[in-house]
Chains A and B, each alone.
Chain A
């Protein structure tokens, strides 16, 4: 296969004659775009209900606090926040503060479980949509790790760290060059997220059916350990989402738009901000 065949895929038929067109690059398959955005409400539902489920029996506990009887570090955090954040001094139930803000609320186990099952089945279906979309477009190949990724990802990391400094001091700050769809850091993150999604589903089933699927529970080290896996996988999603959103917004409209419309006007990926 040669290069010209790919350039030959330029669709000329879409162009009325004697008119200059805009060159755009296909970025994301329709199904990948849908599954990407559907993850937003589904993951939100899973996290809100998941933390409410966690409330019923936290995996991390300490000896009961002599003053308030709390055993859960999330409850301690709520008490600390209400004691130190101005305006929260009269919050009615400080130990519930965290659960009131990152979950459906305390004492809602039945409701949280029902929402969690609903969102979990939707999450699995959505994962299937992603798999079909990336198989149809072949886009999964852009996510596979390369041998040079560790070195390149380190470079990208220091580049991102240096961007705000360079901006403030008006110094030029060159983007490390790359000629793949994603730079090594992006690739690592975008590869890790579907893997984390798969692990979340597997650990979820291992917690949900520890008797019928006891072998699956055993793979993750048993019932109590698999709850810890599932808990930290949630944090992996949250930790991914924060820089993901910041970097996409920093990268500009073209990148955000490409996840909606599927194409980008940037043919060359390596350019500085």
Chain B
């Protein structure tokens, strides 16, 4: 029988072996064990089979039900499973729960000291204008001002681009911008550090968030559609978080958010607000344009 063969093979191995004992031990640790044979009464075996088939069958039914409840309504409609919207009450709760877990993981992974990789000028790639055809009319640029609210002074500050360029040091970096859609681009940016703005105009002491807004943003049909986004101050203080004024050595064009955009490479592209018009510091997490549309809140990458 095969069991005996193995046994004698092992014996033969032992006699001819020149390996050290530890090596042989290691070999036997990784060696497949002979099968375990049991002798079971037929009626007991039948009972086991029935029990396991029922348990696993119930599991399969539960999986189909959970899948049906979690899949998007449009998908189920297309498949002909349902004909009208029927929302499972806990579905949003469960999906949101995991979105929050994933955000918590992202926040735990974040370190204020960890710098993102930088690239050389030869690695720069084209950067697309993701305004998707609804680029704002550049007429807003001459009169543009940045308003900063929620300051410790209790005042609100209004700055134009010359104020910003003359009172802050510009920093350059060649970093990758990663979009939630999956594409990415390496670009050469220059701008002031968000951290420097925070030091020059300190926020109220209990502030943990910034709401970054672009009032000139347009919707997909060219309709006014202000863009607003939440940014935690820990990320705002990251040394590579810039309020960018230049791209590839030139002042920003309207396509890329002239005259001032947020560049936060540790976040998804959707947090990199173009043409910022207002920054408001707050203690509570502000609303977020894309979180309201089903995307995550933290978006740390």
Q: Footprint of B on A, CB under 8 Å?
A: 2-3, 6-7, 9-12, 14-16, 19, 21-26, 33-34, 37-38, 40-41, 44-45, 48, 53-54, 56-57, 59, 100, 104-105, 108-111, 113-115, 117-118, 121, 138, 141-142, 144, 179-181, 207-214, 218, 223-224, 227, 257, 260-263, 267-268
Contacts and interface: CB of A to CB of B under 8 A. Distances in A.
Interface residues of B, number: 69
A56 B184 CA distance: 12
Contact of B109 (A113, A179, A213, A267): A213
Contacts of A45: 67, 70
Interface in B70-124: 70-72, 74-75, 78, 94-96, 98-99, 101-102, 106, 109-111, 114, 116-117
A121 B98 contact: yes
Contacts of A37: 56, 59-60
A21 B44 CA distance: 10
Contacts of B40: 11, 14-15, 21-22, 24
A118 B98 contact: yes
| Among B78, B102, B116, B182: residue with most chain A CB under 10 A | B182
Contacts of B290: 110
A37 B71 CA distance: 19
Interface string B259-301: 0000001100000000000000000000000100111100011
B32 A144 contact: yes
Contact of A261 (B7, B49, B94): B49
Interface of B: 2-7, 30-42, 44-45, 48-49, 52-53, 56, 59-60, 63-64, 66-67, 70-72, 74-75, 78, 94-96, 98-99, 101-102, 106, 109-111, 114, 116-117, 176, 178-184, 265-266, 290, 293-296, 300-301
Contacts of B6: 3, 179
Contact of A208 (B39, B56, B301): B301
Given A56-B181, A105-B75, A179-B5, A212 B300 contact: yes
A48 B72 CA distance: 11
Contacts of A22: 39-42, 45
Contact of B72 (A21, A100, A105): A105
A227 B301 CA distance: 15
B265 A26 contact: no
Contacts of B94: 118
Contact of B32 (A25, A48, A181): A181
A26 B295 contact: no
Nearest to B103: A117
Contact of A16 (B7, B41, B179): B41
Contacts of B30: 141, 144
Contacts of B117: 211, 214, 218
B178 A210 contact: yes
Contacts of A114: 95-96, 98-99, 294
A9 B36 contact: yes
Contact of B35 (A26, A56, A260): A26
